[in-house]
Chain A
Amino acid sequence: MSPVLSRLARTLQLSAIAALLGVTAVHAQLHDKKTLTAVLEADVRVLDPSFTTVYITRTFGFMVYDTLFSQAEDGSVKPQMLESFDVSPDKMVYKFVLRDGLRFHDGSKVTSADVVASLQRWGQKDALGKALTAATKSLVATDEKTIVLTLGKPYGQVLQTLGKPSAMVPFIMPARLAKTPLSEQVPEIIGSGPFVFKRSEWKPGSQMTFERFKDYVPRKEAADFLAGGKVAKVDRVIWKVIPDANTAISALQAGEVDYVQYPSFDMLKLLQKDPSVQLVSAKGAGMFMGHFRLNHLEKPFDDPAIRRVVNMAVDSSKFMAALGVPPEFAVENCLAYFSCGGTYESNAGSELVAPRTVAAAKAALAKTRYKGEKITILQGTDIEAPRVSGEVLAQTLREVGFNVDLQSMDWGSVVSKRAAKTGWHLFSVHNAGYDMANPLTNLYIGNNCADYPGWSCDERMTKKLAEFRETADLAKQKELAADIQKLAYETTPSVVWGQFAQPAALSKELKGMINSSIPVFWNVSK
């Protein structure tokens, strides 16, 4: 054998030895029953949950922080950090008493002063928080465990607001951190939730580690979505960043990770056949809602009749097919702005855009003053749902007779471009149903007449939203939500292009995983 070949053979031998030795280490890692490894939707870029509405930061918040109230699977709101609460008969005074034994991760006691400071910070940032703050006369800590909220004007959704499941969630943090200026992120991540964030082990863009909080005192009740006892049954949770969906699924199949939040739709059939993997998906308001947000300031979309044509052209089944969503994970022909399966579901007003076909839209467009103006669609190409739905919409609108300019860019550029009042007509996005299911938190309806990209504004809707905000009666709320939806169909702040779930894939070894589109890792064991 020549020297070169002999050296090559030696190198290969050494590699093989290294590989075999490494296999042992990998197997040891795979059989670690006390560590759960998950691949979530994205890397956590912002750690402060009262700084951003980005979903991954909200999910991070649920690991580390706790809330006064939490939402159960049936949509009801249950006390979480509270021992008890009282509401005055006129629903203007709320008294909250904290549970005993609550501690932050730095060892300090959770006090009512921490709660007040946290709610005050959150109340200046969150949409519902701002509404509650505007209605609040005073929020005071009367003793170490008691907080009294006194309203200055009626606000019908106090408990729902304090127990809201999606961003921004009113998480409780130490008062010293809650006093951080709003333009800055909190300098330390100290919560009182079931897991402690190990900042020293954080590798941005690669992985973050959480450890079970030994001093956490869970509620006695069984875990029920975000409510009930948050019992951490694993010692460590590792969130790994694996941007490639195929690799994440391969890692799951090889047993290197236990949970993948969003396998791509085209892999679902394969995963359904894999005996080592289970798929779980949320229903109702836990699903995603796809929307096209329209710019009401840009001609010709200043004309409501032309905007309605867009709504008429959108057949959700076409979008679901293009995205590859299997029928069992989509809601067929959902016409509810506030999510199908949500508390405020209705079809009110949808007759205005029926039938939703290209032919009908074409006929309707012919009756408008549209004269072939360019319609600019901002298409975010780095996220699957906006990319695919943007393409389908462009083609659909061309068939209807619009002159379409599809501008492809990364999502960061879409967000930047849409901030300008001109230069674009619509963009596609998908939001958590939890956010869209309430008229006040629905981004495109709740921001009516606000300085928010799209700038939809209807005075009648403003009045109805105010009425909705003030009433605590569910029947009345449903009636008002239907009225608001009728106005939405008339004025088209956005167009719903589909409601769908993106199921999570997890190892069959995991027991007790809570079925939710917000991945939480208490109650789960290996």
Chain B
Amino acid sequence: MPRLILSRLMATIPVVAIVALFIFLMLRLSPGDPAIIMAGDNATPAELAAIRAQLGLDQPLILSFLRWAGQVLQGDLGMSLFAHIPVTELIGQRLEPTLMLTLCATLFSVTVAVPLGVVAGIHQGKLIDRAVMVMVVLGFSLPVFLIGYGLVRELSIQAGIFPVQGYVSLFEDPLRSLHHLVLPTVTVGLAYASLVARMTRSSIIEVMKQDYIRTARAKGLRPRVVLGIHALKNASPPIITTIGAGVAVLLGGVVVTESVFAIPGLGRLTVDVVLRRDYPVIQGLLLLFSGLYFLVNLVVDILYVMVDPRVRT
């Protein structure tokens, strides 16, 4: 296991370096100028030039890149051009809402989807299977914003049970935090749950046809043991992959959900900073996302090894 982790970590270094270079060049070569956005409509060319110089945007590309890369190696992602606070602090402010939403959505999806998928899989072709599949198709097909607005209309405006928008930190008030997260979790979790339920169902159907399941049944094991010990464990690798990919997507920024519920998370931050060309923050965010993707993949690989001994060889 340690060798696996080490080899994955080593493989990450060139990937992150290439990602960093690509991000930097892509940003600086695309149109847009933070000085113009900052100064407003009536700024003169001389004023803009002074702002660019003050922000260090007048430096040659290669010098700027080397300076930034040097900072990153020391753990410093620079300062936000607009908010004038360190990028790490700005990202830190936005990390908690996205992490909480991701965690809640993942828990919700797995809690709902895995049992539903298992039930559908073992009752393939029956009424319950069809009902689950209808729900899955609906969950996939309904746009996230429609689910969000619908929930807000019924449960917030009409019933007054949940807040319409906003985020409260878990460290500030845990109950209010969870209360604010219910609707966003369900909104973003439905599509994700549909994906996991579908994958679970397919895996269970596949596994239940295997010889060792028939053998287990023939040995007289109870159905719960057959399902829990033999079927689920062998069906889990593709389910873990799906959950892992979903977590990575959620961490990458659930922009629509964050916008609909006005959650100040990483997704909204990404859109904001791209629109205003806040280069240090965009660069920091993209580096963070690539790191998170790597981390999620590593966790998935480790789980694979844990549930499937064949992968170790």
Contact = CB atoms under 8 A, between A and B. Distances in A.
A424 B20 CA distance: 33
A25 B173 contact: yes
Contacts of A206: 93, 167, 264
A409 B269 CA distance: 19
Given A240-B166, A250-B165, A15 B182 contact: yes
Interface stretch (B125-133, B154-162, B236-244): B154-162
Nearest to A429: B41
A382 B32 CA distance: 14
B31 A250 contact: no
B217 interface: no
Given A7-B111, A23-B160, A251-B164, A183 B179 contact: no
Contacts of A23: 160-161, 179
Contacts of A4: 114-115, 118
Contact of B178 (A18, A204, A413, A447): A18
A183 B53 contact: yes
B179 A256 contact: no
B179 A243 contact: no
B50 interface: yes
A413 B157 contact: no
A14 to B, nearest CB: 9
Interface in A174-220: 181-185, 203-207
B85 to A, nearest CB: 7
A426 B239 CA distance: 53
A416 B269 contact: no
Interface string A3-23: 011011001000100110111
B175 A18 contact: yes
A250 B173 contact: no
A4 B83 CA distance: 47
Interface string B162-187: 11111100000101101110100000
Contacts of A15: 178, 182
A437 interface: no
Q: Identify the interface centre among A7, A11, A15, A54: most chain B CB within 10 Å of its CB.
A: A15
B23 interface: no
A457 to B, nearest CB: 15
B90 interface: yes
B42 A8 contact: no
Q: Which of A181, A247, A409 has the most CB of B within 10 A?
A: A247
A93 B95 CA distance: 57
A415 B37 contact: yes
Interface string A232-271: 0000000011111011101101101000000000000000
B179 A19 contact: yes
A182 B153 CA distance: 48
Given A18-B179, A23-B160, A256-B166, A244 B33 contact: no
Interface string B252-270: 0000000111101000110
B36 A415 contact: yes
B136 interface: no
B32 A204 contact: no
Contacts of A242: 165, 262
A22 B111 contact: no
A120 to B, nearest CB: 16
Nearest to A446: B42
A443 B53 contact: no
Contacts of A452: 42, 44
Interface of A: 2, 4-5, 7-8, 11, 15, 18-19, 21-23, 25-26, 43, 45-46, 51-54, 57, 125-127, 167, 181-185, 203-207, 240-244, 246-248, 250-251, 253-254, 256, 382, 409-413, 415-417, 419, 429, 431, 443, 447, 450-452
8 contacts: A167-B42, A183-B47, A203-B264, A254-B157, A254-B163, A256-B166, A419-B36, A450-B44
